[in-house]
Amino acid sequence: MFCYYHRSGEEISNAGERQPEERKIMFIFGRSGGGTVGLDIGSHSIKVVQLTGSSKSLTLSSYAIQELSPGTIVDGEVVNREHLIDTVHDVVRQAGVKSGSKNINSAVSGRSVIVRRIPMEKMSEQDARQAIQWEAETHIPFRIDEVSLDFKIINPEISPGQMEVLLVAAKKEVVDLHRGILQGAGLKPSIIELEQFSLQRAYQHAYKPSGDECVTILNIGAEVTNMVVVRNGLPSFNRDLSIGGSRFVEALQRTLGLEYEVALGVLKGNVPDGISSDEVHTAIGRVIEELSTSIRRSFITYQASGENARIDKMYISGGCSLMPGLASILSEQHGLPVEHFQPFRNITIPEDVINDSEVDSMSAILAVCVGLALRGYEPSMVDINILEEPEGKKRKASGAPKEIKSTALLTILCVIPYLALIAGGIIAYKDYQDLKDHEVEVNEEIEVIDEQISQLGIQMDQQAEASRLSAAVDRKLQQILELSLRQKYSVYVVEYLCRAIYPEAIIPGSRIDKGIYLTSLMLLPTEVHITGVAKTWGDIIEFQRDVAEIMPDGRTPLFTLDDYGQIYTLASEATRTGSRRYNFEMMIGVNPFALSSLVGEFASDSGVLMEAVEESENTEDSPDNAGEES
DSSP states of 122-144: ---HHHHHHHHHHHHTTT-SS-G
What does the pLDDT read at residue 424? 82
What does the pLDDT read at residue 610? 39
Per the CB < 8 A criterion, the answer to whether 384 and 193 are in contact is yes
Q: Distance between CA atoms of 152 and 167, rounded to whole angstroms?
A: 7
Tell if the pTM clears 0.85, that is, is over it: no
What does the pLDDT read at residue 63? 92
Residue at 354: amino acid letter: I
Of residues 98 and 27, more confidence is placed in: 98
Share of the chain above pLDDT 70, in %: 80
Q: How many Cα atoms within 13 Å fall on the side-chain side of residue 551?
A: 7
Per the CB < 8 A criterion, the answer to whether 547 and 500 are in contact is yes
Q: Cβ contacts of residue 533 below 8 Å, gap of 6+?
A: 516, 517, 519, 581, 582, 583, 584
Q: Distance between CA atoms of 12 and 23, rounded to whole angstroms?
A: 22
Domains of the chain by start residue, with CATH: 209-342 (3.30.420.40), 454-617 (no CATH)
Q: Distance between CA atoms of 64 and 354, rounded to whole angstroms?
A: 11
226 DSSP β-pair partners: 219, 240
118 DSSP β-pair partners: 165
pLDDT above 50: residue 198? yes
pLDDT above 90: residue 407? no
What does the pLDDT read at residue 322? 87
DSSP type of residue 478:
H
Note the helical H segments in 366-405: 367-373, 391-398
Of residues 405 and 192, more confidence is placed in: 192
What does the pLDDT read at residue 180? 93
Predicted confidence band at 626 (pLDDT cuts at 50, 70, 90)?
A: very low
pLDDT above 60: residue 191? yes
SS3 73: strand
- Secondary structure of 531-597 in HEC code, one letter for each residue: EEEECCHHHHHHHHHHHHCCCCCCCCCCEECHHHCEEEEECCCCCCCCCCCEEEEEEEEECHHHHHH
**Sign of CA pseudo-dihedral 316, 320, 325, 330:** negative
Mean pLDDT of the chain: 79
Q: What is the pLDDT of residues 201-214, one digit of tens each?
A: 999 999 999 878 89
Poorest-pLDDT segment among 395-399, 459-463, 587-591: 395-399
Instruction: Give the Å distances, CA to CA, from 483 to 90, 486, 582, 593, 597.
Output: 77, 5, 39, 12, 14
Q: Cβ contacts of residue 424 below 8 Å, gap of 6+?
A: none
Q: What is the pLDDT of residues 354-387, one digit of tens each?
A: 888 889 889 999 999 999 999 878 777 788 898 8
What does the pLDDT read at residue 606? 38
**Sign of CA pseudo-dihedral 245, 571, 332, 574:** positive
Of residues 59 and 96, more confidence is placed in: 59
pLDDT above 50: residue 572? no
pLDDT above 90: residue 488? no
pLDDT above 50: residue 6? no
Per the CB < 8 A criterion, the answer to whether 4 and 29 are in contact is yes
Q: What is the pLDDT of residues 167-188, one digit of tens each?
A: 999 999 999 999 999 999 988 8
- Which H or E element spans position 410? helix 406-501
What does the pLDDT read at residue 36? 87
Note the helical H segments in 208-347: 245-256, 260-267, 277-304, 326-334
Poorest-pLDDT segment among 120-124, 397-401, 547-551: 397-401
What does the pLDDT read at residue 48? 94
pLDDT above 60: residue 512? no
Poorest-pLDDT segment among 20-34, 240-254, 285-299, 475-489: 20-34
Q: Encode 486-501: b = buried (16+ Cβ within 10 Å), e = exposed.
A: eeebeebbeebbeebb
Q: Distance between CA atoms of 48 and 65, rounded to whole angstroms?
A: 7
pLDDT above 50: residue 10? no
pLDDT above 70: residue 619? no
Q: Distance between CA atoms of 116 and 142, rounded to whole angstroms?
A: 13
For residue 398, the Cα-to-chain-centroid distance in whole angstroms is 37
Q: What is the pLDDT of residues 228-277, one digit of tens each?
A: 999 888 888 888 898 888 899 999 999 988 898 888 888 877 888 888 88
**Sign of CA pseudo-dihedral 412, 414, 416, 422:** negative
Pick the most confident of 6-15, 22-31, 360-369, 421-430: 360-369
Q: What is the pLDDT of residues 87-135, one digit of tens each?
A: 999 999 888 887 666 678 999 988 889 898 899 999 998 999 888 888 8
pLDDT above 50: residue 492? yes
